[in-house]
Chain A
Amino acid sequence: MKPTDIAAPDYFHKVVDCQWACPAHTPVPEYIRLIAQGRYSDAYMINWKSNVFPGILGRTCDRPCEPACRRGRVEETPVAICRLKRVAADFKDDIKQRLPKPAPKNGKRIALVGGGPASLTVARDLVPLGYHCTVFDGDPEAGGMMRTQIPKFRLPNSVIDEETGYILGLGVEFKGGHRIESMKALLAEKYDAIFVGSGAPRGRELDIPGRKEAAANIHIGIEWLANVSFGHTDKIGKRVIVLGGGNTAMDCCRTARRLGGEKVTVVVRSGFEEMKASPWEKEDALHEDIPILNYMVPVAFKHVAGKLIGVTFQHVKAEYDAKGRRNLVPSGDPDQTIPCDDVLVAVGQENAFPWIEQDCGIEFDKWHMPKVDQKTFASTNPKVFFGGDAAFGPKNIIWAVAHGHDAALSIHKLLSGEDIDERPLPEVEVSSQKMGIHEWSYDNDISIDKRFKVPHRDKVVALKDIRAEVELGYDVKLALGEAHRCLNCDVQTVFSTSLCIECDACADICPMDCITFTDNGEESDLRQRLKAPSPHPDQDLYVSSDLKTGRVMVKDEDVCLHCGLCAERCPTGAWDMQKYFIEMTHAGSTCPTKSRSAA
């Protein structure tokens, strides 16, 4: 293998698994260290800069970082990254002084359609640069789906008000209750750019017999949740069936439990394991005595005299064809009818752009989705950008934020007369953490604690009050314990070939047997000859250039604890622990265009 080029910004970025997996690339270990030091406001601001909604995401994020967390490969469970984010939000001081100051207006006007996370991120990035941003939303308050679809017992209004408030307070013009009905009309208003962050607002229908006849008791999940959120709906029947296996279904069933649903049942077509809902959301539903029945396909709504009395299901089983594709085929068991008073349909969300006329210069594909550039988020109309669920279909908040940052950068470049396809490289800083012979500026003593549970409100109390937040969040002591579980993957092991005397000290001390000195070879061959097995080929090998004896140093990044013992036991300083900090390029950052040399 060729010697690893650690100067390429992506190499060390990949080692920070959580940050690499996060769509917004939030510097996770950095803010967790700040939390451990009690510097909650600093931790919050790092998050705020990167993911805009730390308090909201700290409660609701889909957490792509956690399955990626190295800790999950070292022991059973990853660090509770998401809930630590909430800790920063919960314990911070007043941070208003730290928010960007309004810049002199540059005379450019941007229209943002939809007041959800994508649009608000664009506004957050552009307003401090002097742009006049106008956000339009059909609802009276900002927040979009974060406010309408996520139940208050998971995300209280106060948190949404606070974090949308920080953005609107920068000087965003928010036009609530103003639904954009025509793109053509909006284009005619001569905005310099338009950003569409209108989400995926339509709940998918379930067109089976009885749908029309029993319509009064069949509700579309996200619409019903919005009605609950705005207080239009405050009760439901005693027996409720929720159809669907995503996070919306979980929100529906738990909301139903709080509005009078005594016997709430979730029924999914697929297997329990394959459900789209996050594992922890399934857990929370089960904890609230909501059974989840699987491999059952709804075939008819049963009704008597226009009144829903139940849902009939066909039992299916999964069969896999030669290509490994799954098919659900009837299992042969007799159909089952489950009696109920109400049904909540949460079988998916769809985009809908009835307000975008065909002659706006915005092309759509065969699935009726706008043609959007994956990198720049530009549509075929150079002035119109898309982001969040509106761009590529339903995802989650953190993706909307990531889209927002990228779209804001595009808009800023477009209106500065630059080529939007040229994306500036992120800014990378690498600095030694050595303080003394065996002293480091980070805590390298590895905690062996198991993941700490987030305290929950008592179930009886929680089920009585739909606005009572179920999760209480970590207290300071639990947060400190959980923060110590972080392996500081951003503190990188950096190897200098010229200093190595091949004494083996690093290989001997490494608790995870990550380091091997051996003859060079092809990657597949090298992976066979390492001190410990190498089960994750997606985890890079760090290979040195040739050493004095002709061998090379090979480090499997996979389960490195970043404990720094290799560097402590190295007599010549050939190993050093260096903190890697990557700042993603946002609109208005000073943009380095060349890669910088690390270390």
Chain B
Amino acid sequence: MTYIAKPKFHHPGLKKNDLGYTHRDYEGKISTLCAGCGHDSITASIIEACYELSIEPHRVAKISGIGCSSKTPDYFLGNSHGFNSVHGRMPSVLTGANLANRDLIYLGVSGDGDSASIGFGQFAHSIRRGVNMTYIVENNGVYGLTKGQFSATADRGSKSKKGVTNTDNAIDLVAIALQLGATFVARSFSGDKTQLVPLIAAAIRHKGASFIDVISPCIAFNNHAGSTKSFDYVREHNDAVNRLDVLVGRDPIAVDYAPGTVQLVEQHDGSKIALRKIDADYDPHDRLGAQTFLAKHAAKGQIVTGLLYVDPEAEDLHEHLNTVETPLNTLEADTLCPGSTVLDKINASLR
């Protein structure tokens, strides 16, 4: 919590993107979260990713539910569309908005409470339907706003700040997203922007349901010894399978990689993801393999991060429904409702 507004001055030498914006132009209001909150780093990463992709702020809709994480859309993209929905209902509102206007970029921002508890069903169905969106869960394993109860993603056996041991099994949202058919699945850590920023950028460029689980330590209630979502624990147990660079446009790959260490993934829109492999055997195109890998490492207490699965040829909800290219919200009334003669014809065809 900070009382003064962030000063408007910025570094005079800040680089501008293709639109002439600096990264400061993608900021929102100053954060009211606790000092040091991991969520603020995710906010900074979203700002950085949108800046690097030269996204026009008015082409973005950021939609969230309730919770510390769901407050964060106020802190980035101050010139974008936003909707702060009922607790756990972000996925439905996002799906509706996406159906009405398929032209916007949809950022769904949620937390472990919002997505793994009250909105678990909503989360599942939006993924299952393949809504074209970037679904980010800011996962701290704890209900911060209500002072630190375990959430549904808290690992069994981890300890609360007061020393109570969690006896419930944890929901692994990444495993579930994989199972439900998400076409871009990643996990990252708020304390590792070099990994997180390109993941968010690649997810935004992905057509289909992108899901990123970002472990984000709660400084106030879940950053102690015994927690499995603390800075120290995540840094010790982080097992990154890959690092990536997002290449947009026709830019040749400027980075010099050792042969065999990089896998190029071309997405639907022509953008490329250069995957620098850390685990040489890991194949991000193998959904089943990813599930097994994840389960094996989870059993060893390791937190697997990186781009875990991507289907570059994915389809989205609009393709499944065969809707028109023109966003529905821009169609005139006579197109949307062609009148009783047309209805009669349709009825006749069904008799």
Assuming the contacts A508-B41, A569-B35, A571-B34, asked whether A503 and B9 have C-beta atoms less than 8 A apart, the reply is no
- What separation, in Å, do the CA atoms of A313 and B96 have in the docked complex? 82
| CB within 8 Å of A: which B1-42 residues | 1-15, 24, 30-31, 34-38, 40-41
Convert A499-531 into 0s and 1s, putting 1 for each residue whose CB lies closer than 8 angstroms to a CB of B: 001111101110111100000000000000000
Q: Which residues of B contact A535 (CB under 8 A)?
A: 13
Residue of A74, A508, A511 with highest tally of chain B CB at under 10 A: A508
| Residue A559 lies at the interface, judged by CB distance under 8 Å to chain B | yes
Interface pair A503/B3, CB less than 8 Å apart: no
Q: Is chain B's interface secondary structure helix, strand, loop, or mixed overall?
A: loop
Q: How far is the CB of A599 from chain B (nearest CB, A)?
A: 20
Q: How far is the CB of B77 from chain A (nearest CB, A)?
A: 15
| Residue B308 lies at the interface, judged by CB distance under 8 Å to chain A | no
| Residue B312 lies at the interface, judged by CB distance under 8 Å to chain A | no
Convert B70-87 into 0s and 1s, putting 1 for each residue whose CB lies closer than 8 angstroms to a CB of A: 000000000000000000
- What separation, in Å, do the CA atoms of A569 and B1 have in the docked complex? 8
Q: How far is the CB of A440 from chain B (nearest CB, A)?
A: 10
Q: Which residues of B contact A571 (CB under 8 A)?
A: 34-37, 219
Q: Which residues of A contact B14 (CB under 8 A)?
A: 513, 532-533
Q: Which residues of A contact B10 (CB under 8 A)?
A: 511-513
* Nearest B residue (CB) for A558: B11
Interface pair A561/B7, CB less than 8 Å apart: yes
Q: How far is the CB of A505 from chain B (nearest CB, A)?
A: 5
| Residue B125 lies at the interface, judged by CB distance under 8 Å to chain A | no
Residue of A75, A505, A514, A568 with highest tally of chain B CB at under 10 A: A505
Interface pair B44/A568, CB less than 8 Å apart: no
* Nearest A residue (CB) for B219: A571
- What separation, in Å, do the CA atoms of A93 and B217 have in the docked complex? 56
| CB within 8 Å of A: which B216-250 residues | 217, 219, 223, 231-232, 235
Interface pair A73/B12, CB less than 8 Å apart: yes
Tell me which of A74, A514, A565 contacts B2 (CB under 8 A): A565
| Residue B193 lies at the interface, judged by CB distance under 8 Å to chain A | yes
Interface pair A438/B2, CB less than 8 Å apart: yes
| Residue B191 lies at the interface, judged by CB distance under 8 Å to chain A | yes
Assuming the contacts A438-B3, A448-B8, asked whether A505 and B13 have C-beta atoms less than 8 A apart, the reply is no
Interface pair A501/B12, CB less than 8 Å apart: no
Residue of B2, B31, B41, B191 with highest tally of chain A CB at under 10 A: B2
Assuming the contacts A444-B4, A503-B41, A565-B2, asked whether A570 and B36 have C-beta atoms less than 8 A apart, the reply is yes
Assuming the contacts A502-B231, A503-B217, asked whether A559 and B11 have C-beta atoms less than 8 A apart, the reply is yes
* Nearest B residue (CB) for A503: B36
Tell me which of B5, B8, B36, B190 contacts A569 (CB under 8 A): B36
| CB within 8 Å of B: which A428-471 residues | 437-438, 444-446, 448
Q: Which residues of B contact A532 (CB under 8 A)?
A: 11, 13-14
| Residue A106 lies at the interface, judged by CB distance under 8 Å to chain B | no
- What separation, in Å, do the CA atoms of A549 and B238 have in the docked complex? 13
Interface pair A533/B36, CB less than 8 Å apart: no
Assuming the contacts A568-B2, A571-B35, asked whether A505 and B7 have C-beta atoms less than 8 A apart, the reply is no
Q: How far is the CB of B2 from chain A (nearest CB, A)?
A: 5
Assuming the contacts A505-B41, A513-B14, A569-B40, asked whether A445 and B4 have C-beta atoms less than 8 A apart, the reply is yes
Q: How far is the CB of B254 from chain A (nearest CB, A)?
A: 16
**What's the interface size class on B, roughly?**
35 or more
- What separation, in Å, do the CA atoms of A572 and B36 have in the docked complex? 8
Q: How far is the CB of A513 from chain B (nearest CB, A)?
A: 5
* Nearest A residue (CB) for B11: A532
- What separation, in Å, do the CA atoms of A451 and B59 have in the docked complex? 38
Q: Which residues of B contact A569 (CB under 8 A)?
A: 2, 35-36, 40
| Residue A563 lies at the interface, judged by CB distance under 8 Å to chain B | yes
Interface pair A504/B9, CB less than 8 Å apart: no
Convert A569-595 into 0s and 1s, putting 1 for each residue whose CB lies closer than 8 angstroms to a CB of B: 111100000000000000000000000
Tell me which of A74, A504, A568 contacts B191 (CB under 8 A): A504
Q: How far is the CB of A226 from chain B (nearest CB, A)?
A: 45
Convert B145-179 into 0s and 1s, putting 1 for each residue whose CB lies closer than 8 angstroms to a CB of A: 00000000000000000000000000000000000
| CB within 8 Å of B: which A50-85 residues | 73-75
| Residue B139 lies at the interface, judged by CB distance under 8 Å to chain A | no
Q: Which residues of B contact A446 (CB under 8 A)?
A: 4, 7-9
| Residue B188 lies at the interface, judged by CB distance under 8 Å to chain A | no
Interface pair B36/A501, CB less than 8 Å apart: yes
Interface pair A512/B9, CB less than 8 Å apart: yes
Q: Which residues of B contact A438 (CB under 8 A)?
A: 1-3
Q: Which residues of B contact A73 (CB under 8 A)?
A: 12
Tell me which of B1, B6, B9, B37 contacts A505 (CB under 8 A): B37
* Nearest B residue (CB) for A570: B35
Q: Which residues of B contact A549 (CB under 8 A)?
A: 235
Tell me which of B11, B43, B193 contacts A513 (CB under 8 A): B11
* Nearest A residue (CB) for B6: A511
Q: Which residues of B contact A (CB under 8 A)?
A: 1-15, 24, 30-31, 34-38, 40-41, 43-44, 190-191, 193, 217, 219, 223, 231-232, 235
Q: Which residues of A contact B (CB under 8 A)?
A: 73-75, 437-438, 444-446, 448, 501-505, 507-509, 511-514, 532-533, 535, 548-549, 559, 561, 563, 565, 568-572
**Can you list the 7 inter-chain pairs with the closest CB atoms, starting with the nearest?**
A571-B36, A533-B13, A446-B7, A508-B44, A532-B11, A503-B36, A445-B4
- 25 A-B pairs with C-beta separation under 8 A: A445-B4, A446-B8, A448-B7, A502-B231, A503-B219, A504-B40, A504-B44, A505-B40, A507-B44, A508-B43, A511-B24, A512-B9, A512-B11, A513-B10, A532-B11, A548-B232, A559-B11, A563-B7, A565-B4, A565-B6, A565-B7, A569-B2, A569-B40, A570-B36, A572-B36
Known contacts A437-B1, A503-B36, A508-B43, then 11 further A-B pairs from the complex at CB < 8 Å, ordered by chain A residue: A74-B12, A446-B8, A501-B223, A503-B38, A504-B191, A504-B193, A507-B44, A511-B24, A533-B13, A535-B13, A571-B219
